[in-house]
Structure 1
């Protein structure tokens, strides 16, 4: 008689082995978890006094304005040589200036240069700082309005309130003319659509200037890499700047740059006694404009935009101005819509047009 030996290694045996392995792994995992829980207790912040402070936010500094508003002066025209709006009353603000301000945590009220003086005056009482933009208008009503706003800016600061001005490109030129009291002081330079470096003046102190927040490496790269864009035909040489006592007494030179004909001009100045900075270059374009082929868009170039915007808006936060909130809302640039102009090859991607 043949006796059959019991079979081994069948499906039942395999399932048994799998269960054994699973139970061993589960037991080891539980032991490891028990060991971890013994040595590293996981507690919610509310379960231990040592973490309570982390859930409490410090109160905001009451001496700072945490809802700053910046006034941007509009420029005559539509920013596109009449291709978008050819009304003689039209003025515009490139949207890049608005985005520049918003990126640093502030809002914008447009200061429309040809609106009634009383409206413009009311708007200046709603804002905590002003930007003079780039452009080409150096004469007529526009210059006179910019001049009157500049006087108000100085008067507000003299009265003890912090009221900053950032004058960009044309703004630099206008302020140079105003402070020097010489409307013919500017010289011709060849710096249209040019990426450039910034050469710092010897022993220049950057505290309290647009460069204050720049890390050392970025400051170094500004002088060795083309991280800013110039787009102007006028400027002032260092020699002529220093020779004019009104200019050299009011401003200190921070940087110079070289145009495409190797001529040196002043590219950044800071007022000695006022929160007034003027830059011949365009800090707003690196992050927000694509119309000029030479505008740098590298990570370092974007940091230049961010640091300048943060410094300027940081100064505006020191303003003691606390206007009625509803009045601010009624005048914000959000009451207007930007126009896409990039396809028309205007040099601006978007503009706000006022008529």
Structure 2
């Protein structure tokens, strides 16, 4: 009989612990503290459970560049192409997955892949003519069509990729100027009255922006190539 007296007490204690555990497992916003009863309903309405059959990481297509990436030491084949690992790691570091777009594969396959990605990255390199230029232009026109149709489809161009887009957009293959600087530091001079809002420099502290124009903090490494100077 004495043991029976403990049963209601233990049951009551168990219920209180269970309620406390349930409350501690629920993360409440400050505005929800006063109405804990509606938390589960609110959570379900605004934060549906992820679909396990879907992968929410974006897919970025990277266009390969002619050559083997090692000055012919790996392959001398005329149809060889490569993508530097640094570009893949760059995309992956932002949470993206990567699909290689081989520039000289059949166009029907290339454009089929284009429908499977959420954006395009053009890499650096040297090829400014021939099939590579033509493919870059065709892909870029497809990207414009997607964006004009309301499909947000970003393109990120680095070095050669940016130069090629400058040539394509301007419809002038001679828009680039000769520039030769190797392993040299320089200052960075901004155009007067330039608006840096929405650019990388927007996050720079004023002291650093000033130092860019007075101290040699900018690395220049261009080997007798063409560059396009863009002014905002």
TM-score scaled to structure 2, two decimals? Answer: 0.70
Distance 1:163 1:61 in 2: 26
Q: CA deviation at 1:126?
A: 0.7
Q: CA deviation at 1:236?
A: 2.8
Return closer, same or farther for 1:217/1:44 CA change in 2, 3 Å cut-off. Answer: farther
2:59 maps to which of 69, 78, 91: 69
1:220 has 2:194 as partner: no
Return closer, same or farther for 1:148/1:198 CA change in 2, 3 Å cut-off. Answer: farther
Distance 1:82 1:69 in 2: 30
Distance 1:175 1:82 in 2: 27
- Look up the match of 2:102: 112
1:90 has 2:94 as partner: no
Distance 1:237 1:212 in 2: 17
Q: CA deviation at 1:133?
A: 0.6
The residue matched to 1:188 in structure 2 has which SS? strand
Maintained 8 Å contact 2:185/2:216: no
2:129 maps to which of 119, 122, 139: 139
Distance 2:93 2:18 in 1: 35
Distance 1:178 1:126 in 2: 24
- Look up the match of 1:52: 26
Return closer, same or farther for 1:219/1:92 CA change in 2, 3 Å cut-off. Answer: farther
1:206 has 2:194 as partner: no
Return closer, same or farther for 1:119/1:213 CA change in 2, 3 Å cut-off. Answer: farther
Structure 1, unaligned runs of 5 or more: 1-42, 239-252, 255-355
1:124 maps to which of 114, 117, 135: 114
Return closer, same or farther for 1:185/1:213 CA change in 2, 3 Å cut-off. Answer: closer
Q: CA deviation at 1:51?
A: 7.5
Distance 1:230 1:45 in 2: 65
- Look up the match of 1:163: 153
Distance 2:126 2:48 in 1: 42
Distance 1:218 1:120 in 2: 47
Distance 2:93 2:85 in 1: 12
2:139 maps to which of 149, 155, 163: 149
Maintained 8 Å contact 2:181/2:220: no
Q: CA deviation at 1:191?
A: 3.1
The residue matched to 2:26 in structure 1 has which SS? helix
Distance 1:221 1:101 in 2: 31
- Look up the match of 2:90: 100
Maintained 8 Å contact 1:70/1:130: yes
Maintained 8 Å contact 1:72/1:108: yes
Structure with bigger gyration radius: 1
Return closer, same or farther for 1:48/1:126 CA change in 2, 3 Å cut-off. Answer: closer
Return closer, same or farther for 1:218/1:135 CA change in 2, 3 Å cut-off. Answer: farther
1:183 has 2:157 as partner: no
How many residue pairs get matched? 194
Structure 2, unaligned runs of 5 or more: 1-16, 30-39
1:199-229 CA-partner distances (Å, limit 9, x unpaired): 444331432x4x2884546963883563656
Q: For the aligned residues, what is the CA RMSD?
A: 3.5
